[in-house]
Amino acid sequence: MPLKPDNPGRTPVAICVLPKETPSNSSYRRMPVSNSLKSLDSPKIALILLLGATRPAYATPEYIQSEQTGAGSVGTSVESGEYAFKPPAPARVFTKLGDMLSESTLNLNLRNFYFGRDRKTQQNIETWAQGGKLDFATPWWKDRLHLGATLHTSQKLYGPADRDGSRLLKPGQKSFTVLDQAYLEARLYRQLSLKVYRQQSNLPYLNGLDTRMIPNTFESVTLFDTSGKRFVYGLAQTWRMKERDADKFISMTKAAGIDGPDRAVSTAAARYTFPNDANIAVVNHYARDFMNIFYTEGNTRTRTRMGMKFQFSTQYANQRSVGDQLGGDFDTRFWGAKLAASHGGLLFTVARTSTTNNAGIRNDWGGDPSYISIIIENFNRAGEDAWLLGLSSDFSYFGDNGFSAFINYARGDTPDNGSNASPDQSELDLTVDYKPGTGLAKELWFRLRGAFVNQDGGNDLREVHLIANYDFSVL
């Protein structure tokens, strides 16, 4: 029988345990969290996180998982094509211009983020930052027009110059503030809306990738229609983007590392949902004289009489150079398949992906939709065959206690010789989320994440994220 989402409007959560301080010659007090990882191996930390959690999650691409807690059922999972067409928030309407400011909203989201990466053959990375965003939005004037703006900041609490590279701050461990959203949105008909200037995007390969302090945002014109019960679509023209660790908007080709003519990205996207709630999505990005990206996915979910729930998903992507080939000559393909099963608050996932030998998959403008895009690696190098095992639980058996957790293990094998030879690698990821959900702590979200990458040849690394988010309304 068809399976409808258990809770499609579920809000994200995350963890911040502030590290202990130790004396240092620096004006800041040293935070040796990353060094402490050396005394623990992966299985020990996995056990600690499992014992400390009470509601784990679901393996989705990292750019989606960074914004939400894990699911305890396939009914609450969200795939890339579904995430791209998130339904709009309920509209608040006013008819007199004088009511615009009095009815506007001003929300503050505070974020505290510690990032530590220990690397075996390269310099370590370590940063601790405090910041957040101030989000302003007017109600809809006569249900037709509204304005919005977002101011983000990331301020250094700790960040030695010789441990740069976390992307929590600007290069050089510098604090920064940026007006990364400023838009006018017009509702043309029902849920057909036109949005202009600085804004977010949730599309595969063109998205916020909000895994640090501040997400990617874009200067674009978008036309999205989410009013259809079965068919939804969107069009976009994007000419500049602001990266996660920057306060300036640059051209899309410059963001892809190209010194040359500026080129915009033209996008068309659509999703069709069948009567049994299965769906198929298609997205195409075209940057003249640079690259065309085609992506498609299909998802179906079912429930058995025994209470088991299953999801089967497939995906395919093609990236190829076009026109003057500003980024070089390439033509590569990628495919993936995923099977997930859930019962009693436990969810198990297995996934398989493969990238052709021609070239690796590019991710110049956001996160990768691959089923095996996890905390550090995307497992989409040229010629890479990868698989993933994931386990999550929402601990619903114990009631709603605000905890969740999930574990993913992935392995990628690449050619041993030739132009695409690279070391085989594996990654173990662990995430614990806690969101109290009641009282003054209702909008508090803690997240603890650990990632462990092992590569043939010894280029191993360990990474920890300690995050706290708190949302509240100013107006």
The pLDDT-based confidence of 303 (bands split at 50, 70, 90) is confident
437: Cβ contacts below 8 Å, ≥ 6 apart:
400, 402
Cα separation, 370 vs 354, whole angstroms: 10
Asked if 105 contacts 10 with a C-beta cutoff of 8 angstroms, the reply is no
Does residue 349 or residue 402 have the better pLDDT? 349
Cα separation, 337 vs 298, whole angstroms: 10
- Per-residue pLDDT at 306 exceeds 60: yes
Asked if 399 contacts 55 with a C-beta cutoff of 8 angstroms, the reply is no
Lowest mean pLDDT among 45-49, 222-226, 397-401: 45-49
Cα separation, 173 vs 138, whole angstroms: 35
Q: How many other CB atoms sit within 10 Å of the CB of residue 192?
A: 15
Q: Which amino acid is at 4?
A: K
The pLDDT-based confidence of 59 (bands split at 50, 70, 90) is low
Q: What is the mean pLDDT of residues 268-286?
A: 98
Asked if 287 contacts 294 with a C-beta cutoff of 8 angstroms, the reply is no
- Per-residue pLDDT at 41 exceeds 60: no
Does residue 2 or residue 228 have the better pLDDT? 228
Asked if 393 contacts 55 with a C-beta cutoff of 8 angstroms, the reply is yes
Cα separation, 475 vs 470, whole angstroms: 16
pLDDT at 7: 40
Asked if 12 contacts 67 with a C-beta cutoff of 8 angstroms, the reply is yes
Does residue 442 or residue 448 have the better pLDDT? 448
| Dmax (CA) of the chain | 69
Does residue 35 or residue 455 have the better pLDDT? 455
- Per-residue pLDDT at 459 exceeds 90: no
Cα separation, 123 vs 9, whole angstroms: 41
Cα separation, 56 vs 405, whole angstroms: 3
- Per-residue pLDDT at 57 exceeds 70: no
pLDDT at 178: 99
141: Cβ contacts below 8 Å, ≥ 6 apart:
93, 94, 95, 97, 100
> Of 57, 43, 59, 37, which is closest to residue 375 (Cα–Cα)?
59
pLDDT at 307: 83
Domain at 33-174+274-281+288-473, CATH from 2.40.70.10, 3.30.70.20, 2.40.160.10, 2.60.120.680: 2.40.160.10
pLDDT at 58: 56
pLDDT at 91: 74
* Average predicted confidence (pLDDT) for the chain: 87
The pLDDT-based confidence of 51 (bands split at 50, 70, 90) is very low
Does residue 173 or residue 18 have the better pLDDT? 173
Q: What is the mean pLDDT of residues 298-306?
A: 89
> Of 155, 154, 156, 112, which is closest to residue 18 (Cα–Cα)?
112
- Per-residue pLDDT at 128 exceeds 90: yes
Does residue 21 or residue 335 have the better pLDDT? 335
Kindly state the tokens that stand for 84.
């791209």
If you average pLDDT over each of 28-37, 76-85, 329-338, 449-458, which comes out highest? Answer: 329-338
Provide the 3-class DSSP secondary structure of residue 263: coil
Cα separation, 391 vs 238, whole angstroms: 37
pLDDT at 67: 84
The pLDDT-based confidence of 395 (bands split at 50, 70, 90) is confident
The pLDDT-based confidence of 17 (bands split at 50, 70, 90) is very low
Q: What is the mean pLDDT of residues 253-275?
A: 97
Asked if 204 contacts 84 with a C-beta cutoff of 8 angstroms, the reply is yes
Strand partners, 264: none
Cα separation, 467 vs 112, whole angstroms: 6
Kindly state the tokens that stand for 239.
């000419």
Taking CA atoms, 219 is separated from 180, 198, 208, 243, 365, in Å, by: 9, 4, 12, 12, 12
pLDDT at 38: 42
Q: What is the mean pLDDT of residues 148-163?
A: 98
- Per-residue pLDDT at 369 exceeds 70: yes
Does residue 234 or residue 459 have the better pLDDT? 234
Q: What is the mean pLDDT of residues 66-92?
A: 82
pLDDT at 32: 38
Does residue 252 or residue 472 have the better pLDDT? 252
Q: Which amino acid is at 119?
A: R
Lowest mean pLDDT among 124-138, 161-175, 325-339, 455-469: 455-469
Q: What is the mean pLDDT of residues 362-366?
A: 98
Q: What is the mean pLDDT of residues 32-38?
A: 40
- Per-residue pLDDT at 14 exceeds 70: no
pLDDT at 73: 84
Cα separation, 340 vs 7, whole angstroms: 17
**Rounded (to 5) percent helix, strand, coil in the chain:** 10, 45, 45
Q: Which amino acid is at 457?
A: G
Characterise 211 by phi-psi region: left (phi > 0), alpha (psi -120 to 50), beta (else): alpha
Asked if 470 contacts 13 with a C-beta cutoff of 8 angstroms, the reply is no
* Helix count and strand count (H, E) for the chain: 5, 23
Tokens 């069709």: give the residue: 272
Kindly state the tokens that stand for 219.
């200067």
- Per-residue pLDDT at 195 exceeds 60: yes
